[in-house]
Amino acid sequence: MVEQLNEGERAAALDRLGEWDYDEARDALTRSFLFADFPEAFAFMTRVALLAEKADHHPEWSNVWNRVDILLTTHDAGGLSARDVRMAEAIDRVAAS
Ligand SMILES: C[C@H](O)[C@H](O)[C@H]1CNC2=NC(N)=NC(=O)C2=N1
Protein backbone atom coordinates (compact mmCIF):
# COMPACT_ATOMS: atom_id res chain seq x y z
CA MET A 1 0.00 0.00 0.00
CA VAL A 2 1.53 3.31 -1.04
CA GLU A 3 1.06 6.20 1.37
CA GLN A 4 0.03 9.78 0.54
CA LEU A 5 2.72 12.35 1.42
CA ASN A 6 2.02 14.45 4.50
CA GLU A 7 2.33 18.24 4.43
CA GLY A 8 5.99 18.29 5.46
CA GLU A 9 7.02 15.62 2.99
CA ARG A 10 5.11 17.43 0.25
CA ALA A 11 6.79 20.77 1.02
CA ALA A 12 10.22 19.12 0.97
CA ALA A 13 9.45 17.45 -2.37
CA LEU A 14 8.26 20.71 -3.91
CA ASP A 15 11.46 22.41 -2.75
CA ARG A 16 13.51 19.77 -4.55
CA LEU A 17 11.34 19.78 -7.68
CA GLY A 18 11.80 23.46 -8.45
CA GLU A 19 10.35 23.32 -11.95
CA TRP A 20 7.13 21.57 -10.89
CA ASP A 21 3.97 23.21 -9.67
CA TYR A 22 1.54 21.86 -7.08
CA ASP A 23 -2.11 21.30 -8.01
CA GLU A 24 -3.96 21.53 -4.70
CA ALA A 25 -7.29 20.27 -6.06
CA ARG A 26 -5.71 17.04 -7.28
CA ASP A 27 -2.88 16.83 -4.73
CA ALA A 28 -0.59 16.47 -7.75
CA LEU A 29 2.63 17.69 -9.34
CA THR A 30 2.32 19.45 -12.70
CA ARG A 31 4.80 20.66 -15.27
CA SER A 32 4.65 21.78 -18.90
CA PHE A 33 7.47 21.00 -21.32
CA LEU A 34 8.08 22.78 -24.62
CA PHE A 35 10.13 21.17 -27.39
CA ALA A 36 11.39 22.31 -30.80
CA ASP A 37 8.64 20.46 -32.64
CA PHE A 38 6.24 17.53 -32.49
CA PRO A 39 8.82 14.80 -33.18
CA GLU A 40 10.90 16.06 -30.25
CA ALA A 41 7.86 16.17 -28.00
CA PHE A 42 6.73 12.70 -28.99
CA ALA A 43 10.23 11.24 -28.58
CA PHE A 44 10.18 12.60 -25.02
CA MET A 45 6.76 11.05 -24.42
CA THR A 46 7.96 7.71 -25.76
CA ARG A 47 10.89 7.68 -23.33
CA VAL A 48 8.70 8.70 -20.41
CA ALA A 49 6.13 6.06 -21.35
CA LEU A 50 8.78 3.34 -21.10
CA LEU A 51 9.85 4.66 -17.68
CA ALA A 52 6.25 4.79 -16.51
CA GLU A 53 5.58 1.23 -17.59
CA LYS A 54 8.78 0.00 -15.93
CA ALA A 55 7.84 1.83 -12.70
CA ASP A 56 4.18 0.82 -13.02
CA HIS A 57 3.40 4.47 -12.33
CA HIS A 58 1.77 6.44 -15.11
CA PRO A 59 1.36 10.17 -15.74
CA GLU A 60 -1.83 11.95 -16.68
CA TRP A 61 -0.64 13.93 -19.65
CA SER A 62 -1.62 15.75 -22.85
CA ASN A 63 0.29 16.83 -25.94
CA VAL A 64 -0.36 19.69 -28.35
CA TRP A 65 2.25 19.81 -31.12
CA ASN A 66 5.53 20.73 -29.27
CA ARG A 67 4.01 20.97 -25.77
CA VAL A 68 3.61 18.19 -23.22
CA ASP A 69 1.62 18.84 -20.05
CA ILE A 70 2.16 16.31 -17.26
CA LEU A 71 0.26 15.74 -14.04
CA LEU A 72 1.53 13.24 -11.47
CA THR A 73 -0.56 11.85 -8.65
CA THR A 74 -1.01 8.37 -7.19
CA HIS A 75 -4.51 7.02 -7.72
CA ASP A 76 -3.89 4.15 -5.27
CA ALA A 77 -2.95 6.66 -2.53
CA GLY A 78 -5.62 9.22 -3.33
CA GLY A 79 -2.99 11.90 -3.87
CA LEU A 80 0.70 12.68 -4.00
CA SER A 81 3.09 9.88 -3.02
CA ALA A 82 6.80 9.15 -3.16
CA ARG A 83 6.18 7.43 -6.49
CA ASP A 84 5.19 10.76 -8.01
CA VAL A 85 8.31 12.46 -6.68
CA ARG A 86 10.52 9.71 -8.07
CA MET A 87 8.73 9.86 -11.44
CA ALA A 88 9.07 13.66 -11.59
CA GLU A 89 12.82 13.36 -10.99
CA ALA A 90 13.07 10.69 -13.69
CA ILE A 91 11.08 12.84 -16.13
CA ASP A 92 13.37 15.80 -15.46
CA ARG A 93 16.38 13.61 -16.27
CA VAL A 94 14.80 12.59 -19.58
CA ALA A 95 14.01 16.21 -20.45
CA ALA A 96 17.59 17.23 -19.65
CA SER A 97 19.23 14.45 -21.65
C1 LIG B 1 -2.54 -2.29 -11.11
C2 LIG B 1 -1.48 -1.21 -11.34
O3 LIG B 1 -0.28 -1.61 -10.74
C4 LIG B 1 -1.90 0.07 -10.67
O5 LIG B 1 -3.15 0.47 -11.21
C6 LIG B 1 -0.89 1.21 -10.89
C7 LIG B 1 -0.68 1.57 -12.33
N8 LIG B 1 -0.18 2.93 -12.53
C9 LIG B 1 -0.47 3.91 -11.64
N10 LIG B 1 -0.21 5.20 -11.92
C11 LIG B 1 -0.55 6.18 -11.08
N12 LIG B 1 -0.29 7.46 -11.37
N13 LIG B 1 -1.18 5.90 -9.93
C14 LIG B 1 -1.48 4.67 -9.53
O15 LIG B 1 -2.04 4.46 -8.45
C16 LIG B 1 -1.11 3.59 -10.41
N17 LIG B 1 -1.36 2.32 -10.09
Q: What percent of the chain has pLDDT over 70?
A: 100
Q: How many angstroms separate the alpha carbon of residue 39 from the centre of ligand 1?
A: 27
Which residue, 81, 94, 77, 97, is CA-closest to 13? Answer: 81
Q: What is the pTM of this model?
A: 0.97
Architecture in CATH for domain 7-96: 2-Layer Sandwich (3.30)
Indicate whether residue 56 lines ligand 1 (CB < 6 A).
yes
Give 4's Cβ-side CA count (13 Å radius): 12
* Residue 72 backbone phi and psi in degrees, to 5: -120, 120
Would the CB of 58 count as within 6 Å of ligand 1? yes
Q: For residue 36, how far is its CA from the centre of ligand 1 (angstroms)?
A: 31
ipTM of the complex: 0.97
The predicted-structure confidence for 54-88, as pLDDT tens digits, reads as follows 999 999 999 999 999 999 999 999 999 999 999 99
